[in-house]
């Protein structure tokens, strides 16, 4: 009986340890200009499996915490590219980019925020 209990506890602990290691923090470069870009980028990254995302507009870097079982960094980058923002590994969707406000069209240079 002791052996069964020890085995059962061992299995539970190994499953718990395994599930904890699927949450990772990663960074990816994302082009953008302003606070409006920040909001769009972070909203696009808010897909199933993402715990938090924070885009630094000065460094042009998105820090994302996500569950690797539910989502990959590639899927997060694809979601961002789909709304018109280029990442270090994905080109922006050109139609979505053209629909961005002029200030957010980062290829034209930095915008002059009035906020």
Tens-place pLDDT, residues 41-79: 999 999 999 999 999 999 999 999 999 999 999 999 999
Integer CA distances (angstroms), 100 to 9, 40, 87, in order: 54, 10, 16
Q: How many CB atoms lie within 10 A of CB 43?
A: 13
DSSP state of 69: T
Cβ-based neighbours of 29, under 8 Å, separated by 6 or more: 60, 61, 62, 87, 88
Domain ranges of the chain: 23-108
- pTM, two decimals, is 0.78
How far is the C-alpha of 67 from the C-alpha of 61, rounded, in Å?
Answer: 19
Residue 109 confidence (pLDDT): 74
Residue 115 confidence (pLDDT): 46
49 and 70 in contact (C-beta within 8 Å)? Answer: yes
Encode pLDDT of 89-107 as tens digits: 999 999 999 999 998 998 8
The CATH architecture to which 23-108 belongs is: 2-Layer Sandwich (3.30)
């Amino acid at each position: 009986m002791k052996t069964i209990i020890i085995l059962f506890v061992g299995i539970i602990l190994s499953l718990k340890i395994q599930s904890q290691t699927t949450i990772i923090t990663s960074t990816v470069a994302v082009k953008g200009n302003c606070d409006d870009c920040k909001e769009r980028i972070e909203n696009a990254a808010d897909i199933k499996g993402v715990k938090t995302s924070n885009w630094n507009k000065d460094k042009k870097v998105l820090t994302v915490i996500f569950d690797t079982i539910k989502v990959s960094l590639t899927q997060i980058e694809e979601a961002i590219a789909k709304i018109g923002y280029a990442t270090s590994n994905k080109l922006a969707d050109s139609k979505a980019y053209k629909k961005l406000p002029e200030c957010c069209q980062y290829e034209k240079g930095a915008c002059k925020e009035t906020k």
